[in-house]
Amino acid sequence: MKISAYGYTNRGGRPHNEDRICWAAEENSGIFVVADGLGGHSRGEVASALAAEAILQGCTDREEMTQTVMEEIFQAANQAVLDGQRIPGQEEMRTTAVALDIRGGKAVWGHTGDSRLYRFSGGKTAFVTGDHSVTYKKFLAGEINAMDVYHDDDRSSLLRVLGKPNAKGDSGEAAVKGGDAFLLCTDGFWEYVYQEEMLVDWLKSAAPEQWAEGMLLRHIRRAPPGNDNFSVITVFVEEEP
């Protein structure tokens, strides 16, 4: 199994970028993290950096990855943000995060907030994380439809983020095989690139960079002036030749 990846982050129409992406990939394994510091809270870029680096290091340090381990790593990342809040001027900083660990033919992921992981397999969308937001709760309750999620007034009202006491991450896992692909991204990306478009661009792409570039072209055409920071990591899992 061969893993390849491509990452991109942009401040969009904002004065500075509060997103953070990082990864560590080898021939047949990889750890990928995307975090989105909350723009309405001071020093969101610090919170996202602390969380992303804590998750990356936490995954790197573990010899075996399970859902329980991933949840423990997210708890440690939350503590890293809480510890950072002790510094004057950083008391209110918060961040979302999503992480993916691929090793031994298995993918394990975790997330908190509305940064997402998409898994594509067998020519279709196999899985998407559920946002920890008021809007997503409304969708689950049948109050709004799937397309309303992109534009609902409550979409920025998050129910769970790192930087709050007792915050935690949800987790999941699945076997991976050649031909699978994963997409990690912030809400500033997915709100302008729809799931069906992600799938179409993946099916047309021979490499992670090509897939990302196709989606970014859609984003550039659709995003308005002053749009949020946006970040994406694309991951391909291929059979060894």
pLDDT of residue 41: 61
d(CA 50, CA 82): 10
Reply yes or no on whether the pLDDT at 241 is more than 70: no
Domain 2-238 adopts which CATH fold? Phosphatase 2c; domain 1 (3.60.40)
90-94, 144-148, 165-169: segment of lowest average pLDDT: 144-148
The pLDDT value given to residue 220? 94
CA distance 83 to 133: 24
Helix (H) or strand (E) holding 96: strand 95-103
Instruction: Please report the pLDDT score of residue 75 as a whole number.
Output: 97
Least confident of 182-186, 231-235, 236-240: 236-240
**39 pLDDT band (50/70/90 cuts)?**
low
Helix (H) or strand (E) holding 19: strand 19-25
Return d(Cα 30, Cα 18) in angstroms, integer: 24
The residues spanned by each domain of the chain are 2-238
> What is the band of 26 on the pLDDT scale with cuts at 50, 70, 90?
confident
| Residue 73 contacts residue 58 (beta carbons within 8 Å) | yes
pLDDT recorded at residue 199: 98
Dihedral of CA 171/177/178/180: which sign? negative
d(CA 113, CA 223): 21
pLDDT in tens, 68-81: 999 999 999 999 99
Tokens 């290091």 sit on residue: 57
Q: What is the pLDDT of residue 112?
A: 98
Q: pLDDT tens, 162-211?
A: 999 989 899 999 999 999 999 999 999 999 999 999 999 999 999 999 99
